[in-house]
Amino acid sequence: MPEPDGAGGGPTRPGRRVRLAILISGRGSNMEAIARAAQASDYPAEVVLVVSNRAEAAGLARAAALGVPTAVVPHREFPSREAFEEALHALLAAHRVEAVALAGFMRVLTEGFVRRWEGRMVNIHPSLLPLYPGLDTHARALAAGDREAGATVHLVTPVLDSGPVLAQARVPVLPGDTPETLAARVLEAELALYPRAIADWLRPWAAAG
């Protein structure tokens, strides 16, 4: 995994913990699940920063309650997506972040930013990719008559929701489901899947030192 320019540090010992940042825009449910998992001494990552593009994001308080440093990079205050992402990248580099997890981060990142973090950034999407990239995944699954739904953890690439799949979790679609009831069931699966998938992804990297 190549080191993104401006991030990372010097030589580290074998068995270290990878420095992970989590980007959020809202309540931070998946972020909290990852941060709680990372409290275990054998978890291969340390959550060193939670960043939101929205100062009002409820997840910032949840992260602070867990003792995780937080920051806000308000996208509306920048003249362009590129300017916003330059500030975001500088913040990550300043905290020596090595890997990034998107957890309800409601910004589509430019190819330039993704390339800088290529191989080091993951996302969780509420469908069984390649089915239903983008929005309204639960309504689309119900409209298609699917018998199961789920979530996918994947590497982030410049093409939205199209990166290599790291892990998936499946849940049944039940009679009478609405997009809301299905979303709740999928979220429950996400909260178990995402911390585990990140651990599996980063464990070889951490062990390599």
Identify which has the larger pLDDT, 180 or 16. 180
For 81-93, how does the pLDDT look when each residue is reduced to its tens digit (9 = 90+)?
A: 999 999 999 999 9
Residue whose entry in the numeric block shows the structure tokens 């990878």: 18
Q: Sort strands 121-125 and 18-24 into parallel, antiparallel or unpaired.
A: unpaired
Q: Which of 109, 175, 121 is nearest to 146 (CA)?
A: 175
State the DSSP code for 40. Answer: S
For 49-94, how does the pLDDT look when each residue is reduced to its tens digit (9 = 90+)?
A: 999 999 999 999 999 999 999 999 999 999 999 999 999 999 999 9
Q: In this structure, which amino acid lies at residue 114? A: V
**18-208 — its CATH code?**
3.40.50.170
Q: Which of 177, 202, 113, 190 is nearest to 150 (CA)?
A: 190
Query: Active-site residue numbers?
Result: 125
State the pTM of this model. 0.92
Rg (CA), the chain: 17
Query: Could you give the CA distance from residue 11 to residue 16 in angstroms, rounded to a whole number?
Result: 11
Query: Domain boundaries in the chain?
Result: 18-208
User: Residues 141, 132: contact at Cβ < 8 Å?
Assistant: yes
Q: Give percent of the chain above pLDDT 70.
A: 93
